[in-house]
Amino acid sequence: MHNDVLMLTGAGQIGMAIARRMGMDKKIIIGDKNINNANTIVATMKNAGFDAEAMEMDLSSRKSIQNMIAKAREFGEIAMLVNAAGVSPSQAPIEVILKVDLYGTAVLLEEVGKVIKKGGVGVTISSQSGHRMPALTPEEDALLATTPAEELLNLELLQMKNIRDTLHAYQMAKRCNVKRVIAEAVKWGERGARINSISPGIIVTPLAIDEFNGPRGDFYKNMFAKCPAGRPGTADEVANVAELLMSPQGAFITGADFLIDGGATASFFYGPLKPEQK
């Protein structure tokens, strides 16, 4: 039996990059709605010497999340959570984005927070999109942060009449992710554990490459070309920050969000990506 388990939700390049940094001498349980994706990442991890196991996991289902947690705990205590699961604006309709990215993340943080090991740590992957949406009222932020997960989708600001399109739904979900992390950091702290979020910009992954070659490709290429970095990022650059947050060097960091977008958000507000200058 292992002493520590790293639980990874979402079998993609960012999650794997973080797991490779933090998963040494741990049992790594990798969950994804598509078991083939999870098996692929597990095979890569095993070939690199890690002890990894795949399972099917649907982030939009509390029961599925609970099943993954139960499986992980068969091997020891959950010491680390890496949540990289979710869907993008071009992958799903509004209802699915809100159910997976918003509700699902809230449930995951809530459920893992009940059992996370003392001294444990988690990171959830949010998005730069949440930073570009106009500010909400303090009351709305508080509702996103603290409303019981099972009641979140009943909030007035999340009703279909108030969501313009899939991008707006995605932005709202990611804003909610950041606010939930702040609130959950208080609860996790009662167990001596920490939780933070990372908001990446355009990161080169197989999905991103599909987007570059798809109907929105020019939009994404323009975004990274006109950001201060002048390029997209890599999964390992996200993992660099996750490694800090999840290591003893980050012991005083919890309830925080880290924007890693090459300056694209800065350019959106104060540079050539500003909407009226497009």
From the candidates 99, 103, 170, 226, give the one annotated as an active-site residue: 170
Name residues whose C-beta falls within 8 Å of residue 99's C-beta, 6 or more positions apart in sequence. 60, 153
Name residues whose C-beta falls within 8 Å of residue 203's C-beta, 6 or more positions apart in sequence. 13, 14, 232, 233, 234, 235, 237, 238
The reply to whether 220 belongs to the active site is no
Residue pointed to by tokens 């350019």: 267
Amino acid symbol at 249 = Q
The reply to whether 270 belongs to the active site is no
Measured CA to CA, the distance from residue 251 to residue 268 in angstroms comes to 32
From the candidates 174, 179, 220, 226, give the one annotated as an active-site residue: 174
Measured CA to CA, the distance from residue 208 to residue 197 in angstroms comes to 20
From residue 236, alpha-carbon distances to 9, 12, 47, 115, 252 in Å are 17, 12, 18, 28, 23
Q: Give the tokens for residue 253.
A: 């960091």
- Strands (E) in the chain, as ranges, are 4-9, 27-32, 51-56, 77-83, 121-125, 194-200, 203-204, 233-234, 257-260
Task: Indicate which residues carry an active-site annotation.
Answer: 170, 174
